[in-house]
Amino acid sequence: MRLDMLNPPYEGVDAERVAKWTPPNVEVEPLHTVRMFLRHHPDLAETMRPLAWFFLDPTKSSIDEVRVRELVVARTCARARCEYQWGVHQAVFGEAAGFTPEQRVATVEGSPDDPAWDDERDRAVLRAVDELIDTATLSDGAWQGLRAHLSEQQTLELVALAGWYLLNCFTSNATQTPLEPFAARFPAPAPVSASG
């Protein structure tokens, strides 16, 4: 890790800042990335917090279905090669998103046309994220693919959500944030066949 984290015991203003990042009734420490930001740039952490909570709150976010949100997060993090963010979300939200083991692997290694994806909405979301990562925009086809399943508001939010997690991936990767003990790990690469 290139930057150390704020560590307990938390006192004074640090305790107040940590409390803002701790969900109610949660007995675990805030994530490593949060504690790193709180230690080195608390003003930026405070600025980022409302958007972080917005995307995770189904009463505020227009993407109120966990599966759609987590497809965007998983694919963005996988394409950015950010095992830290991918692993946290798979551990915390992967089951609620209804991902099969094959789909978890396919978020990292597969394409939107992978047989693991049997739902056209899932494929449209994955195609859109891939286009955003590759081109920083959406083609008319990708936009229409999303609009076949999502409202205008949800489509706009999906683009912002991918950008938000790309920012999180950049900071996690650049600071070499250590993986959380509870987090999932990227799947092992498939073996290469001797004939291929």
Identify the domain boundary among 35, 56, 77. Answer: 56
Q: In this predicted structure, what is the pLDDT of residue 37? A: 96
Q: How many domains does the chain have?
A: 2
Q: In this predicted structure, what is the pLDDT of residue 195? A: 56
Does residue 167 sit within a domain?
Answer: yes
Does residue 30 sit within a domain?
Answer: yes
Share of the chain above pLDDT 70, in %: 95
Same domain, 52 and 87: no
Q: In this predicted structure, what is the pLDDT of residue 116? A: 96
Give tens-digit pLDDT for 64-109. 899 999 999 999 999 999 999 999 999 999 999 999 999 999 999 9
What type of residue sits at position 27?
Answer: E
Same domain, 49 and 76: no
Same domain, 82 and 158: yes
55 CB-near residues (< 8 Å, 6+ apart): 61, 63, 69, 161, 164
Q: In this predicted structure, what is the pLDDT of residue 85? A: 98
Same domain, 75 and 123: yes
Same domain, 77 and 107: yes
Same domain, 134 and 39: no
Same domain, 40 and 81: no
Domain range for 21 is 8-56
Same domain, 50 and 103: no
Does residue 190 sit within a domain?
Answer: no
Q: What parts of the chain have a pLDDT lower than 70?
A: 26, 190-196
Same domain, 179 and 116: yes
Does residue 191 sit within a domain?
Answer: no
Does residue 3 sit within a domain?
Answer: no
Q: Please tell me the pTM assigned to this model.
A: 0.93
Same domain, 45 and 70: no
Same domain, 19 and 75: no
CATH number (domain holding residue 72): 1.20.1290.10
Q: In this predicted structure, what is the pLDDT of residue 11? A: 93
Same domain, 71 and 108: yes
How far from chain centre, in Å, is Cα 142?
A: 20
Does residue 192 sit within a domain?
Answer: no
Does residue 196 sit within a domain?
Answer: no
